[in-house]
């Protein structure tokens, strides 16, 4: 039997070739070499779908550690391995399908921009790193790819670098995610130092009750989906559920800390509270970049990281509960800010934060109730399509109108029907209206969180926050849709008459709309459900199931509640903004204060600025003072000493011969005194020594 | 024979006289004369110690007198050089007063 998976490196390699060709010779091609990018990403798409399909058939882990990256003298070696796993295969689908459609869309959307070879080369580098990330087999390789996607995010947010806002947004994104990355490093160091090389086959406890680990095959509950092969030799950096179990038994606080640090890294990348401030500003980048990087793939990498680490987090309920809390809180928190944003892209960015919050919450819930993170990954999968769809539709509007201000739009449905209806599909999916995919995935993770809340009552608060978030989601996304599309006339006349884009931009929209429609039903295919550990098809949605948790009436009730909330939000949005109405708060309204707080994004930017100015700058000033007055002061004191001594000393040189002679005589007298009296006295006093 | 003590005391008096002259006089020629007096006090010391060298050690006796002769020559040379400097100085600044030759200071 041919092992297809040995060729899995072809996925990142395709785009890597595209990166090299476009990076070195992009200027020699027409239109910045967009067709080369499409071909390279097309190849990656074909390979990616092929490997994902193979994985769904076999549902085994393929693990290759033959390429040694570097080895330490003590025998520890770090490999650039390949791991084809169910979650990785799912990510391959997401990254390459969305990636291909976005690159295709760029051909027209970006056609009139300067610096296209740079754009395509950076997109290719991003896709290479992202495919590498999902195929990485150890945390070190993962971090390498993780940093590369962060770099590409920085470069692409700052694509319009001549705009000061874009340049500073790029810097902000880089610096804020850096905070998370440092936490992630430390978390991985803890894993490495406490777990690296530990292989204790005698411990076979699973974090999930009633399950016994076997050393072979794919078994979620054990090392089935970890970064390490069950049969790794001790030279390979080895992390398995077994070693985690043994370390957790020895030092539970350490594992909790490691889990929280990993969460910090994921929060930075996935724009979770409190490291969320960079994502709305990142909308300064091209819309295609927002669709690919800041909606579908890179920001989901944080959730992916949590998902592959969830088996470790599952050992420490504290860490899992914090993961759930951060996610649940962010889902509501981001939604409130999305309600008041004027910029069409920022509304979608807040919704991305909010949806990522749902996923993070679901990973935490899955860790708490000890099943696979399939519910989160399924939402990641469906979200990638409908969110990319929303961004690309928004891009289509921006392309046509040249403005991003929602209040300048209106009545676009007549002029841009394809964009309007595809965006409507995206909005319905985002709100969680059946039969669109978002309903099924959101229902699945809500019922999972409800299950977790049954066992850990603390989680109930965050479950309720997430439920309110469902209402807000429908409210803000339909506010956006009604403001842009309903009514008859634009509120402000734009420079360009609104028009539908060409097929190059319409095709990705329609394709994504189609995927949004069908993605919810994909788990019906048994192969696809292999890619989603911990999720099963229920009567009304995807109920969490696994060890002891099965589909029930509760799930049906929850589904109806969330559907009701979503419809309430939708109808409220229609009442306030439908049919060309524009709802604005009156100035004397008691809600005006809240509105201001939301518009100012809860003053987080100001708070972080204050922290930077008060804290970091204060410390910097202290160091500056120390450097200026203590270190430099010492040097200057020596300088002054010699300068003053020489200023005074030069006055001896009077030029008068008599005075020189007096000094000579004085010296003579001193010498005579010294040799005749002082020296004999000293030698006798010190015992002739 | 004059006792050694008196010779050395006389030599010290001569040296002090010379130093006094050097410190107080402002005329260059007087300075030169004072230096000569100091030089002669040194020569007198050599002669005195040579005369009182241990009996039978003719090497010390002879070398003391030899150095005295060399020093007399040296003193003559020094006066010749000193007077040449005084002449040159007189030509440049029109004076032989040390207070007028203060250019060589920092």
> From residue A178, how far is each of A182, A284, A295, A671 by CA, in Å?
6, 19, 19, 70
Tokens in use for B1?
Answer: 């024979």
Position A646 pLDDT exceeds 60: yes
Question: What pLDDT was estimated at residue A226?
Answer: 37
Please tell me the distance from the alpha carbon of residue A541 to that of residue B20, in angstroms, as a whole number.
120
pTM, full prediction? 0.75
Q: ipTM of this complex > 0.95?
A: no
pLDDT at B33: 93
In a domain, residue B77? The reply is yes
User: Residue B75 domain-assigned?
Assistant: yes
Give the chain B residue whose CA is nearest to the CA of A660.
Answer: B23
Quote the pLDDT of residue A61. Answer: 65
Enumerate the β-bridge partners of residue A78: A70
CATH number reported for the structural domain that contains residue B36 in this entry: 1.10.287.3510
**Span A555-591, pLDDT tens digits:** 677 888 888 998 998 888 888 887 777 777 767 777 7
Q: Average the pLDDT over each of A92-101, A210-219, A453-462 and give the range with the smallest value.
A: A210-219
Q: Is residue B53 part of a domain?
A: yes
A126 pLDDT exceeds 90?
yes
The reported pLDDT for the residue numbered B81 is: 94
- Across the interface, do A655 and B26 touch by the CB < 8 Å criterion? no
- CB atoms A658 and B22 under 8 Å: yes
**pLDDT per position as a tens digit, A198-224:** 333 333 333 333 333 333 333 333 333
Decide if A655 and B22 are in contact by the 8 Å CB cutoff. Answer: no
Residue B7 Cα, gap to closest chain A Cα (Å)? 20
pLDDT at A244: 61
pLDDT confidence tier of residue A494, bands split at 50, 70 and 90: low
Chain B residues lying within 8 Å of A653, measured CB to CB: 105-106
Contact state of B23 with A662 under an 8 Å Cβ cutoff = yes
Q: What angle do CA B75, B77, B78 make, to 5 degrees?
A: 60
For residue A655, give the nearest of B19, B23, B103 by CB distance.
B103
Residue of A nearest to B103 (CA): A655
Q: A352: which 2 tokens?
A: 């991305």
Distance of CA A420 to the CA centre of its chain: 29
Query: Model confidence over A397-446: pLDDT tens digits?
Result: 888 888 888 888 877 888 888 888 999 999 999 998 888 888 888 888 88
pLDDT band for position A284 (cuts 50, 70, 90)? confident
Give the whole-angstrom CA distance, residue A572 versus residue A138: 48
Measured in angstroms, the CA of B53 and the nearest CA of chain A are apart by: 23
Q: Is the dihedral of CA A66, A70, A74, A76 positive or negative?
A: negative
Which stretches of chain B sit within 8 Å of chain A by CB? 19, 22-24, 26, 31, 98-99, 101-106
Q: For residue B27, is it within any domain?
A: yes
In a domain, B106, yes or no: no
Tell which wins on pLDDT, A201 or B10: B10
Average pLDDT over residues A595-601: 79
Chain A's closest residue to B28, CA to CA, is A657
Out of B22, B102, B106, name the one closest to residue A656 (CB).
B102
Its domain, for residue B8, covers 4-101
Question: Are the CB atoms for B82 and A633 separated by under 8 Å?
Answer: no
Residue A99 scores a pLDDT above 70: yes
Asked if B98 and A655 come within 8 Å (Cβ–Cβ), the reply is no
For chain A, the average pLDDT equals 80
Structure confidence at residue A534 (pLDDT): 62
Render pLDDT for A319-373 as a digit per residue (tens, 0 to 9): 888 999 999 999 999 888 888 888 889 999 999 999 999 999 988 888 887 677 7
Longest dimension (CA), chain B: 56
Beta-bridge partners for A212? A205
Please tell me the predicted confidence (pLDDT) of residue A545: 39
What pLDDT is stored for residue A441 in this prediction?
84
Whether B28 is in a domain gets the answer yes
Does residue B96 form part of some domain? Answer: yes
Closest by CA position to A382, among listed A600, A530, A528, A187: A528
The least confident of A177-181, A309-313, A602-606 is A309-313
Q: Work out the average pLDDT over A184-189.
A: 86
Using CA atoms of A388, A389, A394, A399 in order, give the dihedral in degrees to the nearest 10: 90
For residues A510-521, average pLDDT: 88
Cβ of A661 within 8 Å of Cβ of B99? The answer is no
Number of domains comprising chain B: 1
- pLDDT single digits (tens) A657-684: 788 888 888 999 999 999 998 888 888 8
The tokens describing A332, both together, are 């509501």
A529-541: pLDDT as tens digits? 777 766 544 434 4
Are A96 and A44 within 8 A, CB to CB? yes
DSSP letter at A610 equals H
- Asked if the structure places residue B80 within a domain, the reply is yes
* Mean pLDDT confidence for A111-131: 89
**C-beta atoms of A657 and B31 within 8 A:** yes
């Amino acid at each position: 039997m041919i092992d297809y998976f040995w060729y899995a490196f072809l996925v990142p390699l395709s785009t890597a070739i595209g990166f090299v060709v476009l990076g070195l010779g992009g200027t020699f091609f027409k239109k910045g070499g967009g067709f080369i990018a499409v071909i390279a990403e097309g190849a990656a798409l074909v390979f990616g779908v092929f490997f994902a399909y193979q994985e769904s058939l076999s549902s085994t882990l393929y693990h290759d550690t033959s390429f040694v990256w570097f080895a330490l003298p003590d025998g520890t070696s770090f490999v650039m391995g390949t791991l084809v796993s169910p979650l990785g295969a799912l990510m391959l689908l997401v990254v390459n399908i969305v990636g291909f459609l976005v690159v295709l869309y760029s051909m027209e959307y970006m056609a009139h921009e300067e610096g296209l070879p740079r754009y395509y080369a950076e997109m290719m580098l991003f896709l290479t790193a992202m495919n590498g990330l999902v195929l990485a087999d150890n945390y070190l390789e993962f971090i390498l790819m993780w940093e590369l996607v962060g770099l590409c995010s920085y470069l692409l947010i700052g694509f319009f670098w001549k705009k000061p806002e874009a340049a500073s947004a790029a810097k902000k994104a880089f610096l804020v995610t850096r905070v998370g990355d440092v936490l992630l490093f430390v978390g991985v160091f803890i894993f490495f130092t406490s777990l690296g090389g530990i292989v204790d086959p005698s411990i076979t406890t699973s974090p999930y009750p009633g399950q016994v680990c076997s050393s072979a095959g794919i078994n979620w509950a054990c090392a089935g989906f970890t970064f390490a092969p069950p049969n790794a030799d001790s030279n390979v950096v080895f992390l398995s559920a077994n070693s985690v179990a043994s370390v957790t038994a020895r030092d539970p606080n350490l594992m909790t800390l490691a889990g929280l640090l990993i969460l910090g890294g994921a929060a930075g990348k996935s724009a979770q509270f409190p490291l969320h401030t960079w994502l709305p500003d990142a909308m300064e980048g091209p819309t295609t970049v927002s669709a690919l990087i800041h909606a579908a793939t890179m920001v989901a990498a944080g959730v992916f990281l949590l998902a592959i680490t969830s088996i470790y987090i599952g050992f420490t309920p504290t860490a899992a509960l914090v993961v759930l809390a951060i996610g649940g809180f962010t889902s509501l928190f981001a939604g409130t800010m999305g309600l008041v944003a004027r910029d069409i892209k920022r509304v979608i960015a807040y919704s991305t934060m909010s949806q990522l919050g749902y996923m993070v919450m679901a990973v935490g819930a899955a860790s708490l109730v000890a099943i696979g993170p399939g519910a989160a990954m399924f939402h990641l999968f469906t979200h990638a399509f409908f969110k990319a769809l929303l961004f690309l539709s928004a891009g289509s509007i921006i392309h046509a109108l040249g403005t991003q201000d929602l209040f300048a739009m209106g009545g676009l449905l007549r002029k841009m029907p394809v964009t309007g209806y595809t965006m409507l599909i995206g909005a319905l999916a985002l709100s969680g209206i059946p039969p669109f995919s978002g309903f099924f995935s959101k229902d699945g993770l809500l019922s999972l969180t409800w299950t977790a809340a049954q066992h850990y009552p603390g989680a109930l608060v965050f479950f309720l926050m997430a439920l309110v978030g469902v209402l807000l989601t429908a409210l803000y996304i339909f506010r956006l849709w009604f403001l842009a599309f309903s009514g008859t006339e634009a509120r402000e006349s734009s420079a360009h008459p609104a028009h539908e884009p060409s097929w190059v931009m319409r095709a990705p929209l329609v394709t994504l709309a189609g995927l949004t429609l069908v993605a919810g039903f994909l788990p019906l295919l048994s192969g696809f459900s292999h890619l989603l550990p911990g999720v099963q098809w229920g009567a009304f949605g995807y109920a969490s199931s696994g060890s002891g948790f099965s589909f029930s009436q509760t799930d049906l009730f929850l589904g109806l509640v969330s559907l009701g909330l979503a419809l309430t939000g939708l109808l409220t949005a229609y009442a306030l903004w439908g049919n060309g109405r524009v709802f604005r708060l009156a100035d004397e309204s008691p809600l005006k204060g809240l509105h201001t707080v939301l518009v100012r994004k809860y003053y987080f930017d100001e708070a972080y600025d204050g922290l930077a100015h008060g804290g970091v700058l204060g410390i910097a000033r202290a160091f500056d003072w120390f450097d200026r007055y203590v270190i430099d002061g010492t040097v200057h004191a020596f300088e002054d000493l010699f300068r003053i001594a020489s200023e005074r000393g030069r006055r001896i040189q009077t030029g008068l011969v008599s005075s020189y002679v007096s000094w000579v005589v004085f010296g003579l007298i001193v010498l005579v005194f010294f040799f005749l009296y002082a020296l004999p006295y000293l030698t006798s006093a010190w015992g002739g020594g | 024979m004059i006792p050694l003590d008196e010779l050395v005391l006389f030599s010290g008096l001569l040296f002090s006289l010379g130093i006094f002259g050097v410190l107080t006089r402002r005329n260059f020629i007087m300075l030169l004369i004072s230096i000569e007096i100091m030089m002669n006090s040194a020569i007198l010391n050599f002669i005195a110690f040579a005369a009182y060298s241990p009996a039978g050690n003719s090497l010390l006796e002879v070398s003391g007198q030899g150095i005295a002769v060399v020093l007399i020559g040296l003193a003559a040379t020094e006066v010749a050089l000193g007077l040449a400097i005084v002449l040159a100085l007189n030509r440049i600044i029109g004076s032989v007063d040390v207070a007028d030759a203060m250019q060589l200071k920092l």
